[in-house]
Amino acid sequence: MALKHVVLLTTLHYILLCFIFTDATSENHICASSSGVVVSYEWVEKDKGILSWIMNNTGNSISTFILVRGATYQDSELVEPYAFGAAYYPAYIYNGLGQYFQGVPVPLQEYQSLGSTPLGILRLSSQQFWTSFVFTLSPGQLFQIEEAGYLYHDDVLTPKCQGVYQLSYLGTFDFRASYSVIEQCQAFDDAQPCPPSPFSIGSAVYSVPSSVMSSMFLPSFKDNFELSFCTSNALFSLPSFRRLTPQSVHQEKELESYPLEKHSNDHPRSYHRNHLILRIH
């Protein structure tokens, strides 16, 4: 079927640490991790394909996890499930929407409700590393993050939560990351500069359960994360460039190979965040 193309979902990143939910009538497809993190969603603007993932740590221990989700269109899989954040992370870095963290994971903080969703590096084997958002919730903590892109032409896609996978922190390491600037950064936001490719980064690294497959990092497939054992004192921090003027959401022109969407990621609230530290050799 021609539907077996890749559509990338985009993140709006209006991340909210929420404790109250009202819309009981919305669709609510659920998946859960072994540790009791329950993920569901509700539509925010269904006609625009914008939803909000609701992550609820119902377990009794701190939990670090990834969300693997996709979407179906007329009962066919249109977006192959992949880990949230594996697409566009370089753009998120420059937009102040995503950030690599170092050290033991800590529960999502208040300032992250306005951006800077944690990115992490996932170790699938000794030679194989991928990247995506890594969420950490304390027991009872609820986290909500919006995501856009659930549209195919003018039709709304049905989100499909494939799984919530529990991670274990392995340590913090330096990596040399190469990526497709066109597909992973400019396609999301050509108004922003992109990190150079390759760039070096220090990141928390996590092990994944054996059910996590490399295919779950599909948008990152042409990317390469190489462990680097060189260290350098040459640290510099990048300011975050947050667009001030909203850009309208417009849909993919053609479902060729990567029908990427651009959208507004602007929001009016102020925010603060840690500086992203990139390491250069």
Ligand X SMILES: *[C@@H]1O[C@H](CO)[C@@H](O)[C@H](O)[C@H]1NC(C)=O
Between CA 234 and CA 194 the distance in angstroms is 20
- The runs of H, that is alpha helices, within 157-279 are 181
Which residue number, 54 or 145, has a Cβ lying nearer to ligand X? 54
Q: Are strands 98-100 and 117-125 parallel, antiparallel or unpaired?
A: parallel
Question: Interface mask (CB under 6 A) for ligand X, residues 114-143, using x and -?
Answer: ----------------------------x-
Can residue 56 be called a binding residue for ligand X (CB under 6 A)?
yes
Q: Residue 201 Cβ, how far from ligand X at the closest point, in Å?
A: 34
- Tell me the backbone φ, ψ of residue 155, rounded to 5 degrees: -95, 145
Cβ within 8 Å of residue 198, ≥6 positions away: 176, 177, 178, 179, 224
Q: Residue 14 Cβ, how far from ligand X at the closest point, in Å?
A: 17
Q: Residue 27 Cβ, how far from ligand X at the closest point, in Å?
A: 14
Can residue 58 be called a binding residue for ligand X (CB under 6 A)?
yes
Structure tokens at 228: 């680097």
C-alpha dist (Å) from residue 114 to 9, 16, 95, 120: 19, 7, 12, 18
Which residue number, 42 or 174, has a Cβ lying nearer to ligand X? 42
Cβ within 8 Å of residue 109, ≥6 positions away: none
- Tell me the backbone φ, ψ of residue 154, rounded to 5 degrees: -105, 5
Q: Residue 21 Cβ, how far from ligand X at the closest point, in Å?
A: 5
Stretch 36-55 residues interacting with ligand X (CB under 6 A): 54
Beta pairing partners, 54 = 40, 144
Can residue 21 be called a binding residue for ligand X (CB under 6 A)?
yes
Q: Residue 53 Cβ, how far from ligand X at the closest point, in Å?
A: 12
Structure tokens at 215: 């295919």
Which residue number, 22 or 245, has a Cβ lying nearer to ligand X? 22
Q: Residue 19 Cβ, how far from ligand X at the closest point, in Å?
A: 8
Q: Which residue has the CB atom at the shortest distance from ligand X?
A: 56
Which residue number, 41 or 179, has a Cβ lying nearer to ligand X? 41
Cis peptide bond N-terminal to 198, omega within 30: yes
Residues in contact with ligand X by CB under 6 A are: 21, 54, 56, 58, 142
